[in-house]
A = this chain, B = another copy of it.
Amino acid sequence: MSRFDISIDDILMAMGRPALIDREAILEAGLAIADEQGLESVTMQAVAERLGVTPMALYRHVANKSTLLDGLVELLLAEFLPPPAGLPWPERLAGVAGAIRESAHRHPAVFPLLLQRPATTRAAREMRASIFRALEEAGVSPERAARTERLISTAILGFATSEVAGRFSRCSRRELDLDFDLLQDLLRGFIDDQVRR
């Protein structure tokens, strides 16, 4: 009846044995399901089952399904490792673009969500910062850098999303590789333009 019905021993014993699941395990299970069976297969029940637990157990670790999906997006962002700092900026930028595209191919179901969430998480800021540094090194003025970065990352995300979400389903992989090369030329020309002003 009262809250003291739970004995201290009970609590200590519960604390002693490690939790069956945690936030990270939940997100990884969700991402695996999304990769294997698509986003609509990511249900609380499916995630729980993969972890050998009941759906209700998830709610101690994630607020609800919507924040679980936010967490999946975070997981993708965390994969966008900043490229090696030693390289000259064009190669660093190409590295970032390539890493983003590869992530899209690994996670075609979750990737489109990237375009739909404010890029305010730590990993998102880091990716932005790495593009910023490349632009700075290229000679883009700080006043222009933010806008330039937005357009560059939007173009890359838009292309990668179209590619994996099926808008280009009639194009061969080879065609799309060439598209991507051309996109990078386009962005390169754009940056040169921004520098010249």
Contact = CB atoms under 8 A, between A and B. Distances in A.
Contacts of A154: 155, 158-159, 162, 167
A172 interface: no
Shortest beta-carbon contacts, A-B, top 5: A158-B158, A116-B165, A118-B169, A154-B158, A186-B190
Interface in A161-177: 161-162, 165-171, 175
A166 B116 CA distance: 6
Contacts of A72: none
A195 B169 CA distance: 27
A5 interface: no
A115 B190 contact: no
Given A115-B115, A157-B158, A159-B154, A120 B170 contact: yes
Interface residues on A, range: 20 to 34
A114 to B, nearest CB: 8
A155 B155 contact: yes
For A114, A171, A186, the residue with the greatest tally of chain B CB atoms inside 10 Å of its CB is: A186
Contacts of A189: 189-190, 193
A159 B158 contact: yes
Contact of A116 (B112, B178, B183): B112
A150 interface: yes
A17 interface: no
A41 B148 CA distance: 36
